[in-house]
Amino acid sequence: MFSVIRVPVSGCIAGGLAMIASYRDHKPVHLFQQSPHRALTSGNAETISRGMSSFLQDFRSALRSIRKTRAVTFAVLLSLSLGIGSTASVFSLVNSFLLRPLRVPETERVVRITSVTQSSQVDPITNPDFEELRKRAQSFEAITTTWGGDPVFWLATRPGLQPHLAAGAAVSGEFFSGLRAEPVLGRGFRPEEDQAPGRDAVALISHRLWELEFGRSRDVLGKTIGINSRDFTIVGVAPPSLTAGVQPTVYVPRMMFGTLLGNDAKGLGVAEAYARLKPGVTIEQAREEVGRIGEQLEQEHPDTNLDSRSTPRSDFAWRRVRELQEVRSYFS
C-alpha cells in the first residue's frame, strides 16, 4: 500500500537550496539549526505563559457566555449530537451495504440476479422466475436465493424462555454450498430440505448467537430452538459476516418461510438471488443466456408479463429476468 503525503513546496525548495550550498562549500548543513534543548529559554517560557493566560481568559469568557445563553447552547449541542449520530448511522449503513465485500471464496465468479421490467424498474426475482431459471440456466454452478427481504422472527434459544425479536433469513437449499460458505460447525441445508413446504424444520444459527447464547459449545448441534412458536433443530453454525448488510441471527430453509408467516410460500417474492458462474463462463455469456430465458418466460406467460404500460395483477406477477450484476460492483 502506498500513501501520498503533501509536503509544503517552500520547505522543499529551502531544503534543496541548503543541500546544494552544502555540496558546493563541502560543509555539513543542518536544515533545523535550533537545538531541542533550547526550547525552554526565558523568552520562550514567557511566551508560553502569556499564551496560557490568554487561553484561560478565553475559556472563562466562553463559560460566562454559555451561562447567559443556555437555550442557544443546548440547541447547538443537540444539533451537533443529532448530526454526528445520523452521520455515523448513515456511514454504518453504507459501509454494510456498499463497502464491505461479500465474504465468500472466488467472489469474482459470484453474480447477483435481478428482475427488470420494460419500464427499467429493477425488482427482486419471484419464486416462479427462480424455479425456471434454476431448471434452464447452464451458465451457473448453483443459483441461490434469500427470501422475503430481511424478515424478523420471534426467537427463543431454549424451551421455556421468553422469545425475542431477531433478524432472520430464509434461504434456498444451495445457499451455503453454492456460495462455498462452509459452516463453522455442522452442515448447511440439503437439497431435499428445499422441496416440501413446511416439512423440514431445521436451522443454522449465526456465529454471534453461538458465542453469546451457547458459549461456542459443539453440543449445540441437535438442540431445539423456537422460531415463531415452532420448534427447529439446529444443524449448523453459519460463518461470521457471511453477507453484507444486516447479519441474520438464524437461517431457515425457504420452504419453511411460508409456514412461519402463515402464508403460501409459493407466492412470496425472492429478496436476493446470487449465482456462481461455471469455470470459463463470462458475465456477458451468462447475461445473454438469462436474457433468452426471460424472453421465453414472457412468451410462455403473456398474461402475467409486465411492461411499462400495464398494471400488475398482483405484487408477485411475472417479470422479465434479464439483468446480471457482479456482486463486487454492487457491494464495493
Find the DSSP H helices in 95-146.
Answer: 127-136
Question: Given this model, what pLDDT does residue 231 score?
Answer: 96
Contacts of 172 (CB under 8 A, 6+ apart): 130, 143, 144, 145, 146, 178, 189, 194, 253, 254
Residue 269 identity: G
Among 143, 141, 139, smallest CA distance to 130 is for: 143
Whether pLDDT at 153 is above 50 = yes
How much of the chain is in helix, strand and coil states, percent to nearest 5?
45, 20, 35
What is the spatial distance between Cα 181 and Cα 105, in angstroms, rounded to a whole number?
A: 8
CA-angle at 282, arms to 277 and 284, nearest 5°: 115
CA distance 237 to 234: 8
Question: pTM for this one?
Answer: 0.62
Can you tell me the mean pLDDT for 100-114?
74
**In the structure, what pLDDT confidence band is assigned to residue 154 with cuts at 50, 70 and 90?**
very high
Stretch 132-149: mean pLDDT, rounded?
A: 86
Per-residue model confidence as pLDDT tens digits over 289-319: 888 888 888 788 776 555 422 222 222 233 3
State percent of the chain over pLDDT 90. Answer: 28
For residue 52, the model assigns a pLDDT of 74
Q: Which cell numbers hold the place of 260?
A: 412461519
| pLDDT(218) > 90 | yes
> Which stretch of 62-71, 169-178, 189-198, 201-210 has the lowest confidence by average pLDDT?
62-71
Taking residues 115-136, report their average pLDDT: 75
pLDDT in tens, 79-94: 777 777 656 545 444 4
Q: Decide if pLDDT at 265 tops 90.
A: no
